[in-house]
Amino acid sequence: MGSRASTLLREEEIEEIKKETGFSHSQITRLYSRFTSLDKGENGTLSREDFQRIPELAINPLGDRIINAFFPEGEDQVNFRGFMRTLAHFRPIEDNEKNKNPTASEPLNSRTNKLLFAFRLYDLDRDDKISRDELLQVLRMMVGVNISDEQLGSIADRTIQEADTNGDNSISFNEFIKACEVYVEQNLLLQAELNL
Partner 1 sequence: TRPPPLTETHTPPALTETLYISFVEVGVENVQMADYFKGVASFLIVSLGGTLVGLVFAVLLSFITRFTKRVRIIEPLFVFLLVYLAYLTAELFSLSAILSMTFCGIGANKYVEANISQKSRTAVKYTMKTLASIAETVIFIFLGISAVDKTKWAWDSGLVACTLVFILVFRAVGVVGQTWVLNRFRLVPLDRIDQVVMSYGGLRGAVAFALVVLLDPERVKAKDYFVATTIVVVFFTVMFQGLTIKPLVKWLKVPRSTNRKLSINEEIHERAFDHILAAVEDIAGLQGYHHWRDKWEQFDKNYLSRLLLRKSVYRKSELWEAYQRINIRDAISLIDQGGNILTSARLSLPSMASRTSFPEVTNVSNYLRENGSGVCLDLQAIDNVPGSKVEEETETHHVLTGNLYKPRRRYQSHYSRHFMPLGEQERQDREVFQRNMRSRLENFKSSRHKRHRKDRSLKKRRGSDVKEMDGGDKPRRNVSWQDKDPVQVPGDSDEEKPSECEKDEDVGITFVARKVDTVKQRPHSVPAALEGGQPPPAPPPPPVSSSPSSPSEAAGLLPWKGGLGSPPPCVSLEATKVIPVDLQEAWNQSISSLESVSSPHAPPEPLHPRISALCRAGGPRPASYTPPGTSSLREREEEEREEALQEVQPLMRPLPPPPPPPPGSAPGPGRRRNPCVYLRSLVTTPPAETSEPHSRGPTQL
Separation CA 191–CA 93 (nearest Å):
7
- CA 23 to CA 28: how far, in whole Å? 6
Is 150 one of the binding residues for partner 1 (CB under 8 A)? Answer: yes
Name the residue nearer to partner 1 (CB basis): 10 or 192. 192
Other Cβ atoms less than 10 A from the Cβ of 124: the count is: 15
Nearer to partner 1, 104 or 145 (CB): 145
The one-letter amino acid code at 108 reads L
Q: With contacts defined by CB under 8 A, how many residues of the chain interact with partner 1? A: 73
Long-range Cβ contact pairs of 66-70 (< 8 A, separation 24 or more):
66/121, 69/117, 69/120, 69/121, 70/46
Subset of residues 89 to 148 that bind partner 1, contact rule: CB under 8 A: 90, 117-118, 121-122, 124, 133, 136-147
Within 165-184, the residues that bind partner 1 by CB under 8 A are 176, 179-180, 182-183
Selected from 14, 62, 93, 116, the binder of partner 1 by CB under 8 A is 62
Q: Which is nearer to partner 1, 13 or 157 (CB)?
A: 157
Show contacts with partner 1 in window 26-55 (CB under 8 A): 31, 33-34, 37-38, 40, 47, 49, 51-55
Q: Choose one: 3-11, 13-21, 65-73, 103-111; the region binding partner 1 (CB under 8 A).
A: 65-73
Residues whose CB is less than 8 angstroms from the CB of residue 113 and which lie 6 or more positions away in sequence, other chains included:
89, 106, 107
Contact residue for partner 1 among 12, 73, 106, 193 (CB under 8 A): 193
Distance of CA 46 to the CA centre of its chain: 16
79 sits near partner 1 (criterion: CB under 8 A): no
In contact, 28 and 9? CB cutoff 8 Å: yes
Q: Does 74 bind partner 1 (CB under 8 A)?
A: no
